[in-house]
Structure 1
Amino acid sequence: MDLNALDDFQLVATQGGFGKASRASGRSKATLSRRVAELEDAMGVRLIERGSHRLALTEAGRLLLQRVEGPMREVAEAVAAARDGVSTPRGRLRVSAPQLFSQLALGHIAARFVATYPQVQVETVTEDRVVDLVDEHVDVAIRINPRTDSDLVGRCFARDRLLLVAPPGLPRPAPAGPAPTPMPAVVMPTYRDGDVWSAREGGTCVQPLPVLYASSLLMIRDAVAAGAGVALLPQSIAAPLVQTGDVAVWGVVGEPTELWVLHTSRRLQSPKVRAFVDFIGAQFPDGTFTVPARAA
């Protein structure tokens, strides 16, 4: 299949017509029309319905456009890099990340990244849902404890720990006895009655008695500092108040949480993706997720 024909089809489809595509590219309308017609003949399907005022993509045309935008952009970047004789990261980099990570760290990381690579423009997609990188044209995704059966590739760039924290004035119960110690607690809406919080270090075991339900970990942190009760918090979020003595740590709960940067496994991995993966790993040299001071 002719890549030039695919490129011309994408240009016509995104510009909304042969005339606009001609003005944007400098190629004649006749050439663009012929290339698109040749592509339709090669595929055996009609991609564009040509009207008197404005073209419309067929269902096959819409599907093809969705599938070729990302790969064609990567091919163009690879060709540009080969032509220049370098592998300079350039172009727009779309990064998907969970809301909390975005609020705490992504702004600082993205600012340092574009300062290091001025030919890259970063666009963030901040959502807690699992984004489809191919369908939604996302270059890299930050995910917490991703599924092992994912077809994405990448690396774990940092780890976090879940802490059992409490107001500093709240007496810490003795090491676990025959039953957990009931304690007022600040919990997430996902808390289930009967859950027990057991710390690996120190043997503290708590039976939470919810006094406040909060969907924000930052709100939970502040409520604990204000004396509401015990809670479970990531070390990265609790650390600033632990350092100032506003929150006490009663132990570590569960296994470490892993933060991964993921991307598709295409062979033509663009320089901007490689650069971002390497860059974000370098921000946490000891492998521990820490929050920039101003974000904390």
Structure 2
Amino acid sequence: MDLLALADFNLVARHGGFGKAARAANRPKATLSRRVAEFEAALGLRLFERGARDLKLTEEGRALFARTGQLLAELEETATAIASGGETPRGRLRISAPLLFSQTAMGKIAAGFARAYPQVRLEVTTDDRAVDMIEEGYDLVIRVNPAPDESLVGRAFLHDRLVAVASPDLPRPDAGKAAPAVVRSTEDWSAWKIRPPAAATIAVDPILRLSSVIMVRDAVRAGIGAGCLPISLVSHDLADGTLVLWGEVDAPEIALWTLYPTRRLLSARVAAFLDHLKQAFPTGSPDELAAYVGR
């Protein structure tokens, strides 16, 4: 197989078109188009569907890109590392992270990483959906309680838990009565089951639905209703009395995972970012996250 032609195919697939690929590589568009057409002819496969205005990978093209894109990146990185006499992380690192973690911690993490590894160009996007790492060109994703995926490997690096909290001015309701509550738009709480030693079931009346956890926290601080929130997000409020604890909610643990495509060789820049996270959160406890985020 012609590795140069394979590299040209990956270049076009990664950028989503001949024009964008040509500009990124500073090469003639016609040359790239001809090289890819010759590569398709040599394989006997159509790798792209060429429309009037767009270019899309065929099923065979997607499969080839998924299997060879990371391998070519590793080859290029290895050659660069050998040429420079070391494994210094360099190049572009694309990361997708969930909204709440991005809002509270990712800016500080990214700044520290950029300072430690100036030859890496870090790009972080915020998304709560399960992105397609290969199709969308991510090197690493951070996800909350991800579903098992045989194509990805990773580990949990942070843990959190949910607690029911309220303003000191909002009394905890008597048994059989519902507490006014602020909930996320995607939640459907009718009651919070509180774990021992404060075991109880607190009925809730969602009087306010908001789309982000930060908004829920701020509304609970304002005293409009109680909220079910990660302990790391409210620990400072509990410590200074801005909020009071009604109890720990009986719900699955919140775990943040780093995930990346399965492969033998982990790129130097991904390995460096994983080490950076480990230094920021050595034990991965909610207290560490709360201390890192601050007020």
Per the normalisation by structure 1, the TM-score is 0.80
Structure 2 counterpart of 1:103, one-letter code: Q
Tell me the equivalent position of 1:210: 206
Structure 2 counterpart of 1:79, one-letter code: A
Sequence identity (%):
44
Tell me the equivalent position of 2:156: 156
Q: Secondary structure at the match of 1:110?
A: helix
Tell me the equivalent position of 2:135: 135
Count of residue correspondences: 283
The alpha carbon displacement at 1:45 in A equals 3.2
Q: Is residue 2:280 matched to residue 1:283? A: yes
User: Can you list the C-alpha shifts for 1:235-292, whole angstroms capped at 9, x where unaligned?
Assistant: 1211222222111112211342111111011223211011111211221113124146
Q: Secondary structure at the match of 1:134?
A: helix
Determine the C-alpha separation between the residues in 2 that align with 1:216 and 1:156. Answer: 23
Structure 2 contact 193–199 (Cα < 8 Å) conserved: no
Tell me the equivalent position of 1:53: none
Tell me the equivalent position of 1:93: 93
Determine the C-alpha separation between the residues in 2 that align with 1:82 and 1:164. Answer: 54
User: Can you list the C-alpha shifts for 1:173-202, whole angstroms capped at 9, x where unaligned?
Assistant: 68xxxx555222212223436434323342
When structure 1 is superposed on structure 2, of 160-169 and 210-219 the one drifting more is: 210-219
Q: Is residue 2:124 matched to residue 1:124? A: yes
Q: Secondary structure at the match of 2:249?
A: strand
When structure 1 is superposed on structure 2, of 58-67 and 186-195 the one drifting more is: 58-67
Determine the C-alpha separation between the residues in 2 that align with 1:173 and 1:36. Answer: 69
Q: Is residue 2:167 matched to residue 1:170? A: no
Structure 1 counterpart of 2:159, one-letter code: R
Determine the C-alpha separation between the residues in 2 that align with 1:142 and 1:75. Answer: 25
User: Can you list the C-alpha shifts for 1:13-33, whole angstroms capped at 9, x where unaligned?
Assistant: 86837xx68x9469xx6xx89
Determine the C-alpha separation between the residues in 2 that align with 1:73 and 1:129. Answer: 25
Q: Secondary structure at the match of 2:253?
A: strand
When structure 1 is superposed on structure 2, of 258-267 and 187-196 the one drifting more is: 187-196
RMSD: 3.5
Structure 1 contact 94–124 (Cα < 8 Å) conserved: yes
Tell me the equivalent position of 2:39: 39
Structure 1 contact 167–226 (Cα < 8 Å) conserved: yes
Q: Within 5 Å, which residues of 2 pair with 1:7-18?
A: 7-10=7-10, 16=18
Structure 1 contact 144–260 (Cα < 8 Å) conserved: yes
The alpha carbon displacement at 1:227 in A equals 1.5
Determine the C-alpha separation between the residues in 2 that align with 1:155 and 1:91. Answer: 24
User: Can you list the C-alpha shifts for 1:104-155, whole angstroms capped at 9, x where unaligned?
Assistant: 1111101101111111011112111110111111000001111134431111
Q: Within 5 Å, which residues of 2 pair with 1:1-296?
A: 1-10=1-10, 16=18, 24=26, 39-45=39-45, 63=62, 66-67=65-66, 68-172=68-172, 181-192=177-188, 194-254=190-250, 255-289=252-286, 290-291=289-290, 296=295
The alpha carbon displacement at 1:42 in A equals 3.4
Structure 1 contact 166–248 (Cα < 8 Å) conserved: yes
Q: Secondary structure at the match of 1:262?
A: strand
Identify unmatched segments of 5+ residues in structure 2. Answer: none
Change (3 A) 1:49 1:182: closer
Which structure's CA Rg is the greater one? 1
Determine the C-alpha separation between the residues in 1 that align with 2:225 and 2:49. Answer: 64
Determine the C-alpha separation between the residues in 2 that align with 1:36 and 1:199. Answer: 61
Identify unmatched segments of 5+ residues in structure 1. Answer: 51-55
The alpha carbon displacement at 1:214 in A equals 1.7
Determine the C-alpha separation between the residues in 1 that align with 2:33 and 2:170. Answer: 75
Per the normalisation by structure 2, the TM-score is 0.81
Change (3 A) 1:234 1:12: closer
Structure 1 counterpart of 2:184, one-letter code: M
Determine the C-alpha separation between the residues in 1 that align with 2:118 and 2:253. Answer: 35
Structure 2 counterpart of 1:109, one-letter code: I
Determine the C-alpha separation between the residues in 1 that align with 2:165 and 2:49. Answer: 63
